[in-house]
Structures are given as C-alpha cells and as structure tokens.
Amino acid sequence: MNIDTPAFLPTPEPVLEVERLGDEIAVLCAHLDAATARLLDLIREFDARGGWNTGFLSCAAWLSWRVGLDRGAARERVRVARALGTLPRLAQALARGELSYSKVRALTRVATPETEERLLAVGKAGTAEHVERIVRGWRLVDRQAEARETARRHAIRALHVYQDEDGMVVIRGRLAPEVGAVLVQALAAARETLYQRARSMDAEDGFAETPTMAQQQADALALVAETALHHGIDPGAPGERYQVVVHVDAPVLADADAPGQSVLKDGAHVSSGTAQRLACDATRVVMRHAPDGQVMEVGARTRTIPPALRRALDHRDRGCRFPGCGLPFGQGHHIRHWAQGGPTTLSNLALLCRRHHRAVHEEGYEMDRQPDGELSFRRPDGRLVPEVPPPAAVPRDPVHALRAQHDAHGLHLHARTAMPGWLGERLDVGWAIDVLHPLAASTQ
C-alpha cells in the first residue's frame, strides 16, 4: 500500500509562537547589552571627573546610593567601565550587542590591549560558561608568572618618614606585599568609615572643595593611626603622650573673624573654622595669660560634651545626621557653638561624621534645628539639602524608547546578534590557554 507524504511538514503555530518569543528575548537582551555599554561609558566619565566625590568613598558607593545597585554589583560596573576605557574592541562589541555584559565582565578580568583581540574571538565563539572557564585558566597562568617575582619583591622594602620645610610630614616607602596588603586593607576600611556611607547629596551638587583620592588616603591614614593609639598599641605610655593640643584664643572660637591665635603645640597655624570644629567635642583647659604672655592660671580639664550626655547623643542620633549619610558614629557638633553662648544640651547637639562636620564648620554648609525638632541642612548657596535624591524620569514604554534610541543611532539588532559561533564541540581549556596566553609556554 502506497501512502503519499508531503515533502515537508508545516511547523505548528504554537511552536512558531514560542520561537518568536525566544527571538524577542534575544533581541531585547542585545538592546540591553548595547544600553549597558552606554551606561558604562557614562560611569567611566563620571568616575574620571570625580562626580561621585561629594563625601562618598568611591564611584561604586555613589552608584549604590544614587541608582540602588548592590554594592558588589556597583564595584563590578566601575571596574568593567574602567577596563573598557583601554579595551576598545571589547567595548565596541558590547555596544553593538555582539557580546553580553556577562562575557565582557569576565574578559575584562584578564584582557590587556595586547591580548584583547584574541580574547574577543573567544567571547564571540564561546558561550558565557566557556568564557568563564578560559578566564579561570588564563588567570592561573598569570599567577604562575607572578610567582617568579615574589622573592625579588620581598627584598625591596623600606619606609622613610621625615618632616618637610613647611612642617608637613612626608612618608615614602616600599613594603613587602603581605605588609602592603594589610596597609591597603586598613586604609580602605578607614576610607569606607570616613566616606563610603556619607550619602549626602546628588553628585552635581558637591561640596565647595571635595577631597581627592590622595586626600582621602591621608585622612584614612590619620584615622588608622588614631585608632591604633586608641586601642593601646603602646599601653605602657601615658595617655597624654598621644593628645593633639590646639591653642586657641577665646575670641577666635566665638568669631572666626576675630584676631587671635589658633595654633598647634608646635606652632603650626590652623584655621579658626578648624579650631571651632575641633572644640565642638574635645577636652578643654582654660588658661589665663598676662599681657606679656605668661600663664597666670590654668583651669581644670573638662570635657566639652560630658560622657553621659555623649551616650545619650549616640543613642538618639544613631550616627551622622547629614541627609543620606548614616555613618554609625560621629563627632558631637554644637548647632550653636558653645563659644557663642550655645548650651551643651541634647537639643543643641547633633552627631556628624568627620566629613560632614568639616563641611558645616569649614565649607559653608549650615544646619539648624526646626521647631518640630527636625534638623535642616543647607548648601553654601542656601539651597536645602534633600533627604534622598529625586527619582529619575522613566518613559511610559521604556522598551520602545530603548529601541527607538538605538534605531536613531543606526544600531540594528536581531535575534542572532549575540549568538556564539560554538558548534557543540567539547572545550579543551588547557589547549586553548596554550594557544591563547602569551606566557603559557614559559610557565610549563
């Protein structure tokens, strides 16, 4: 019995519909990757121009506050953005939707301008899993090459500390890697304490003088030293040895424009604003001087903010009160300075972190307590500091807006734009690394 069969069977409509859904997913993912490339360009420029440096430790910290990224994801975005600045081929492939962000993120861990082209071929040919495996093998070869330098680096270590002509202390040295790692970690922790959670304002409304990374490092080193001494690095020495003394004339504390001295023990001058900030919460000793400068009377040493009141202040404020900051500890600040007649009472006190305490005393920011007990902060130009950044405007149809933007730039994406060239063969990672890595032969 003969049965006539058609040359081909038509694809059922439900299958075609599912395939169309899959194509739409692939196209939209390509659009998102292309948009991610633009986002990374913006992050790289924003980072390079220091737009985040408004009390934040890093661009990643600002991203976490401003756009709600997880801290780890924010750090990765900044790392990838910086790396793509020197890897134009990978950056272009991402911008054209040919490589996913996941692949680019992995490749930027090992890519250099010299190896970028061959790693780009890996990204286009393989899946994201293939790329991750190649990168892991690549990094292993890198570590083996670095191991040959360990002995040489260990011997080159020194630290020099000396005072320059202007009184500044200069530190120069080379530390063993493990010692340097401890120092870097300590400085990073100190910077985070000082700046990471200082989420104070939108990046475009920065402080009058924002600290550079070098200045942040200097501040962090000071905090590391203070913390070490506070925790008894030399318990046999008297506590007085580690105090920093500032001699300030009373009129200077009451009025920054008043004549008078404001100097450290060794005679170095500090500004009146700095003296007022330090005097907010410090040990105070009143001295009376004769016209010729001789000390006539020395009063008892007292705390500007007594311990019991300080505990109440910590309990009430729970950290820095500057909008968006939230550091879990801070310095006691007199809203109306005690030298100007302000009382040392809980209602006239507020906790501010080091960064924002300096902003209020020395950078023109103002704070007041309102009749309802809430605090208000104003920038040097008088504008109110918002508690949270305003939300970004989102179009009613963001997908359509994204597609239209890419069409306007001549970027035409389809379902196979990011499809890898892999044909299903087994991945031999060892062979791939031997072929691709420029140092592979020398490490065998």
Bridge partners, 200 (sequence order)? none
Q: Tell me, yes or no, whether 69 lies in a domain.
A: yes
pLDDT at position 349: 92
Condensed to tens digits (0 to 9), the pLDDT of residues 197-210 reads 454 443 445 554 66
What number is the average pLDDT over the span 120-134? 91
Q: Tell me, yes or no, whether 35 lies in a domain.
A: yes
> Which of 173, 199, 233 represents a domain boundary (last residue)?
233
Condensed to tens digits (0 to 9), the pLDDT of residues 50-67 reads 888 765 668 888 888 788
Both 203 and 129 in one domain: the answer is: no
Both 96 and 191 in one domain: the answer is: no
Both 163 and 138 in one domain: the answer is: no
Both 48 and 87 in one domain: the answer is: yes
Both 191 and 130 in one domain: the answer is: no
Q: Tell me, yes or no, whether 50 lies in a domain.
A: yes
Reported confidence tier of residue 162, pLDDT bands at 50, 70, 90? confident
What number is the average pLDDT over the span 119-146? 86
pLDDT at position 89: 95
Question: What's the CA gap between 248 and 246, in Å, rounded?
Answer: 6
Neighbours of 390 (CB within 10 A): 7
Q: Tell me, yes or no, whether 57 lies in a domain.
A: yes
Question: What's the CA gap between 377 and 419, in Å, rounded?
Answer: 53
Neighbours of 257 (CB within 10 A): 7
> What is each CA distance from 234 to 138, 242, 310, 373, 440, in whole angstroms?
46, 10, 26, 43, 50
Condensed to tens digits (0 to 9), the pLDDT of residues 335-376 reads 988 878 888 899 999 999 888 888 888 888 889 998 888 898
Question: What's the CA gap between 235 and 229, in Å, rounded?
Answer: 9
Of 418, 431, 387, 410, give the one whose Cα is nearest residue 94. 418
Residue 107 has pLDDT above 90, yes or no: yes
Q: Tell me, yes or no, whether 267 lies in a domain.
A: yes
In contact, 198 and 356? CB cutoff 8 Å = yes
DSSP code, position 382: S
DSSP code, position 186: H
Question: What's the CA gap between 175 and 260, in Å, rounded?
Answer: 44
Of 139, 150, 153, 151, give the one whose Cα is nearest residue 440. 139
pLDDT at position 312: 92
Both 229 and 271 in one domain: the answer is: no
Which helix (H) or strand (E) is 289 found in, with range? strand 287-289
Residue 285 has pLDDT above 70, yes or no: yes
Both 329 and 411 in one domain: the answer is: no
Of 172, 177, 173, 174, give the one whose Cα is nearest residue 151. 177
Condensed to tens digits (0 to 9), the pLDDT of residues 327-344 reads 777 888 999 888 788 888
Both 35 and 130 in one domain: the answer is: yes
Both 193 and 120 in one domain: the answer is: no
Question: What's the CA gap between 249 and 243, in Å, rounded?
Answer: 19
Q: Tell me, yes or no, whether 351 lies in a domain.
A: yes
- Backbone phi and psi for residue 40, each to the nearest 5 degrees, phi listed first: -65, -35
Both 208 and 126 in one domain: the answer is: no
> Which of 187, 202, 233 represents a domain boundary (last residue)?
233
Beta-carbon contacts of 267 under 8 Å, excluding residues fewer than 6 positions away, are none
> Which of 189, 206, 233 represents a domain boundary (last residue)?
233
Residue 49 has pLDDT above 90, yes or no: yes
- Backbone phi and psi for residue 208, each to the nearest 5 degrees, phi listed first: -60, -40
Q: Tell me, yes or no, whether 422 lies in a domain.
A: yes
What number is the average pLDDT over the span 91-114? 93
Both 197 and 290 in one domain: the answer is: no
Q: Tell me, yes or no, whether 407 lies in a domain.
A: yes
Q: How many domains does the chain have?
A: 3
Question: What's the CA gap between 137 and 109, in Å, rounded?
Answer: 12
Beta-carbon contacts of 42 under 8 Å, excluding residues fewer than 6 positions away, are none
Structural domain for 117, as ranges: 13-148+398-443
Which helix (H) or strand (E) is 376 found in, with range? strand 375-378
Tokens for 393? 């405007």
pLDDT top residue among 268 and 324: 324
Residue 238 has pLDDT above 50, yes or no: no
Burial of 277 (0-12, 13-18, 19+ CB in 10 A): buried
Both 64 and 126 in one domain: the answer is: yes
HEC string for 43-96: HHHHHHCCCCCCCCCCHHHHHHHHCCCCHHHHHHHHHHHHHHCCCHHHHHHHHC
